[in-house]
Chains A and B, each alone.
Chain A
Amino acid sequence: MKKNYLKKALSVFIASAVAVSLCGCSSGKGSEQTTAAQTEEKTTAAVSQAGTDAQETGQDVVNHAVREGFPITDEEITLVVGVPAVNAAYEAKWEDYTWIKELEQTTGVKLEFRVYNGGEDVSLMFASRDYPDISFKVGSTKQIQDAALGGDIYPLNDLIDEWSPNWKKLFSENDMARRLVTFDDGNIYSLPQIRDEPSNSDLRDQWLINKVWLDELGLDVPTTTEEYYNALKAFKDNAGRGSIPENVIPLYIVRIFQNVGGAMDIFGSFGVRTCANGTVTVSDDGKIEYNYASDDMVEPLLYLRRLFEEGLIPYDCLTASGENYTTMTLSEPAVVGSYFAYHNAHPDVYTAIPPLDSGNGKKPMIRSQTNWIVQNCFTIYSNCKYPEVAMRLADTIADPDWSVQSLYGTFSDGYTVKNDDGTYLIIGAEDEKVGQSAPVVRVPQLLSRETADKLIYDENSNQGVRAAAVKNVYKDYSIPKKNLYLDIQLTTEQTDRVSELLKDLNDCRNTTVDNWMLNGGIEEGWDDYVSQMKNLGLEEYLSILQEAYDDFNSK
């Protein structure tokens, strides 16, 4: 009797639980449908409303979007913008940037921000299909591909043609950019960020060495790998003398294959072509190459091992984090003799040196970056009621004035100045200060080469120092664009396979190389390593990328 009751009670509970959860989903769907329907109604209403407005004012207005001039809407509307998180340590909140406030004021569009803290938040957004109206720099190609297949994203082609002269111009002039952002079905679902600025993309890291110490020791700036080794050794041998501290670190790197501050440029000195994120490059005859398993690597690895073995690079570097790197390299007074960094924060102490001559007859080179274009930076979702306004907003951001200010701080905050001849003076400031004024690289800028050529950097600013180094030191060494593998679209199946293979390959490479740095054994272990990489699917990985690359070039 009792048992029966319990059983029944339990089954009722389970049944109701199932029912509840089912209701949960179906009601969710239902409300979605109604909102979609409502949206449509509203849109048509809005369009007809706008139509009458236009008749009254004689202006060309479609769905609240004004075709020319500012504000870009005929009444204040709000767009919900999905954005990546800022670094709260030194950057303002999205709604507090001067640049954003001015953008809102000029365009008449109120922006409401929805911040995504990293990949998980973004994945959740795409998985739950709970979208903002538009987004800046949110989502991967795979996510956007999938969402587009589900009809969740506006194709932008017609909107660009009609509402965005800036982007239309770019795509007609820059065929590479157009092909990179066009999906398989011929549509553009997301605008890129364009920053065709040599001081940024022609170089990844400056190779810095402590000039003060070199002078104290009476050494010349090293030009060959042997001289460099001797300089590092001299730093170590003279620890505690002059301004060289007792606990000197001759060379600081943050792991080997780290994009920022890693040791990959040492490979470049031996003529091994590497790229910023440490994966593949393209050979001169168009073959995709993964150089970290090529025999050319043995020589630079032996060199690097020697630096570790003699204590010129601390072993802690193999497990270092980005924070360790910042603390060590920026410490005052200096404790690091040499390191790799995007900015030279202390140009009075450190000087940028070109990649070194290894004496093996190969031309030394240094990494450059593919980030003159970054895909998936401006997306309009199908629940957005005002796609025309959104596109005009994107067009406004793409305007040179707005793009320059978004990167380097606003005119009004005094970080940038627009000269009468159309050039821009980049006064520059510490990252912390600009981070209060503008969202830097988190919005879909359009900084074409034409605009970039008009930038004049204050020579004492970080970017100014970098620009000078790129121009004077690294110009002949930076790896040309044609040798870089751009982020070409793959099918979702290919993306999945590639990410799996790449994880295995990179893990194997990192573990093996790091172990060699710690314990030696490079020459003995090399063949094993190469065959292990083959077993892990190196060839399959390369052939997938090669196929995509060939397809892309034949388009």
Chain B
Amino acid sequence: MQLKRHWQLYVFLIPAVVSMAVFHYGPMYGLILAFKDYKPYLGYLGSPWVGFKNFMRFFQSNRFTQVMSNTMILSAYSMIASFPLPIVLAVCLNYVPSVRLKKTVQNITYAPHFVSTVVVVSMLNIFFARDYGLVNNIREMLGLERILYMGSTTAFRHLYVWSGVWQGVGWSSVIYFSSLSAIDETLHDVAQVDGASIIQRIRYIDLPMLKPTIVTLLILRTGDLLSVGFDKVYLMQNSLNSPVSEVISTYTYSMGIGSQQYGYSVAIGMFESVVNLIMVLTVNQISKKLSETSVW
């Protein structure tokens, strides 16, 4: 009955469901490779089963602890640094009276999003080069010692995270802008009549209204805890910073794709997804309990 009455709605749903089924659920049968010693000529089903051998190999490899902790630290740092700033940016700009200034700032902060990763890393390489880089030139003028930033284990994470913040802050703030613009103007009017300061208006109107968006995004973000993007780390990696820059994705790339060990790579990828799933479920539950907002 319901189906018939609202059939138009279900028609709208079809493309999304089909694309999910084809592009997300369909390929999942490939996960059986994690439990197999995959040989292309034997096919998915024909390759011999090896149980958890691929997983054990990863857990027991020399690099497991290093790769895991690097991934978690980099990802957590990146989340802590990059999550609140777009909110701050959006809220602040929301109070800028001049539309012109607001638009200009918005455009300037969006722009870096469209710069490709390769270019960003080249820029880092040039600005932070030891012998002729801008940053080191400034350091020298201030009488400080030159530093090989790109090869420094301490600098790697900061460079990675803050260049990411620079690139993403404007773009990520879009969603908060839209939530803010959805707030009923009368609330602000009333608050102003009552003599609320801007800080108070942010505290008691904007943030509570943004809360569901923030929590939802945060939950989704924790689902990526183990997936640090591949390309940027890979491009920034060198032998000097590799003790902190070797993460799951780069390790999988060089071990799996690079030397055609498909079963092994799928196992690592699956491990990553399972951990991510557990994280999302946990955070979702916690948030349900604490704030009554949850993704599902």
Q: Which residues of A contact B (CB under 8 A)?
A: 1-2, 5, 9, 13-14, 16-18, 20-21, 24-25, 119-120, 123, 126-129, 140, 142-143, 146-147, 149-152, 247, 255, 314-316, 318-319, 321, 495-496, 499-500, 503-504, 507, 510-511, 514-515, 518, 535-537
Contact = CB atoms under 8 A, between A and B. Distances in A.
Contacts of B269: none
Given A126-B40, A147-B41, A500-B61, A140 B240 contact: no
Interface stretch (B18-26, B183-191, B203-211, B223-231): B18-26
A496 B42 contact: no
Contacts of B151: 315, 318-319, 514, 518
Contacts of A129: 40-41
B29 A315 contact: no
A150 B38 CA distance: 13
Contacts of A504: 62-63
Interface stretch (B70-78, B92-100, B106-114, B256-264): B256-264
Contacts of B2: 1-2, 5
Contacts of A17: 18, 21-22, 25-26
Contact of B41 (A149, A314, A515): A149
B162 to A, nearest CB: 19
Contacts of B232: none
Contacts of B10: 9
15 contacts: A1-B2, A9-B3, A9-B10, A17-B18, A17-B21, A18-B26, A119-B257, A142-B260, A143-B260, A146-B40, A147-B41, A255-B238, A315-B130, A500-B255, A511-B239
A336 to B, nearest CB: 13
A376 to B, nearest CB: 13
Contacts of A247: 132
A152 B40 CA distance: 10
Interface string B235-256: 0001110110010000000110
Taking residues whose C-beta sits less than 8 angstroms from the other chain, chain B's interface range is 35 or more
Interface in B130-145: 130-132
Contacts of A152: 41
B129 interface: yes
A537 B262 CA distance: 23
Given A2-B2, A20-B21, A316 B257 contact: no
A537 B258 CA distance: 20
A510 B150 CA distance: 15
A278 B55 CA distance: 31
Contacts of B22: 17, 20-21
Contacts of A9: 3, 10
Interface in B177-219: none
B221 interface: no
Contacts of B41: 129, 146-147, 149-152
Contact of A507 (B130, B148, B239): B239
A20 B26 contact: yes
Given A123-B257, A142-B260, A315 B131 contact: yes
A216 B81 CA distance: 55
A415 B46 CA distance: 53
Chain A residues touching B, majority SS: helix
Contact of A499 (B42, B63, B125, B255): B255
Contact of B259 (A2, A315, A496, A537): A496
Contacts of B242: 507, 510-511
B17 interface: yes
A149 B130 CA distance: 51
A126 B1 CA distance: 51
Given A13-B21, A147-B40, A150-B41, A5 B238 contact: no
Contacts of B243: 511
Given A146-B40, A318-B151, A503-B255, A514 B239 contact: yes
A150 B260 contact: no
Nearest to A506: B239
A127 B26 contact: no
A120 B253 CA distance: 10
B118 to A, nearest CB: 12
Given A511-B239, A514-B239, A503 B254 contact: yes
B129 A316 contact: yes
A319 B3 contact: no
Given A149-B41, A504-B62, A518-B240, A314 B130 contact: yes
B40 A127 contact: yes
Contact of A119 (B26, B42, B130, B258): B258
A496 B261 contact: yes
A319 B148 contact: yes
Contacts of A150: 39-42
Contacts of A316: 129-132, 148
Contacts of B259: 142, 495-496, 499
A379 B21 CA distance: 38
A495 B255 CA distance: 12
Contacts of A14: 21, 25
A24 B29 CA distance: 12
A370 to B, nearest CB: 20
A1 B1 contact: yes
Contacts of B255: 499-500, 503
Contacts of B130: 314-316
A537 B63 CA distance: 13
A515 B152 CA distance: 9
B43 to A, nearest CB: 8
Contacts of A496: 259, 261, 264
Nearest to B146: A315
Given A1-B2, A142-B260, 14 more contacts: A13-B17, A14-B21, A14-B25, A18-B26, A20-B26, A25-B44, A316-B129, A318-B240, A499-B261, A507-B239, A507-B242, A511-B242, A511-B243, A518-B151
A511 B240 contact: yes
Contact of A514 (B18, B62, B63, B240): B240
A41 to B, nearest CB: 24
Interface string B1-37: 1110000001000000110011001100100000000
B62 to A, nearest CB: 5
